[in-house]
Amino acid sequence: MRALIVAVLLLAALPVFATAPLTFEEVDTDGDGLISADEAASVEGLDFDAADADADGTLSVDEYEIAVEKLELPPAAEPAAPNGGTVTPVPPPASSTPAISPDMAPKAPVAPPIPAKP
């Protein structure tokens, strides 16, 4: 049973590990310390032009790390309304039940007294 649980957990975690971005060294296949547009094409979802902050046609380690951090952040999801608009989240109402102090906690029921026999 334990082996089955471990196998299921590993299968559930597999997509997390499979989508991890490549390290700078893995992408810099020619080892020149810079990532070209061709090398960056191996990174799924990376927008090379947006990542190339100094517009020199290559990504430095810093530029690549900033771009990868943006890839790892999940986009802020807005709930969709049935009519296609967006829904503004509403906080739940404050509880109308007062907090219970220890002296207000429910007591165990007490059995009624047993009548004495005549």
Distances in whole angstroms, Cα of residue 99 to Cα of each of 25, 71, 103, 109: 57, 44, 11, 22
Query: Of 91, 67, 60, 89, which is closest to residue 76 (Cα–Cα)?
Result: 89
pLDDT the model gives residue 110: 75
- 21: tokens are 């971005």
pLDDT the model gives residue 54: 96
pLDDT the model gives residue 111: 75
pLDDT the model gives residue 71: 83
Q: Rounded to 5 degrees, what are φ and ψ at 41?
A: -60, -20
What's the average pLDDT block by block, 10 residues per block, for the chain (118 residues)?
A: 67 56 92 95 92 96 93 62 64 64 68 78
Please tell me the CATH code under which domain 21-72 is placed: 1.10.238.10
Spell out the residues 6+ positions from residue 48 whose beta carbon is closer than 8 angstroms to its own: 37, 40, 41, 59
Domain-wise residue ranges, the chain: 21-72
The predicted model scores a pTM of 0.48
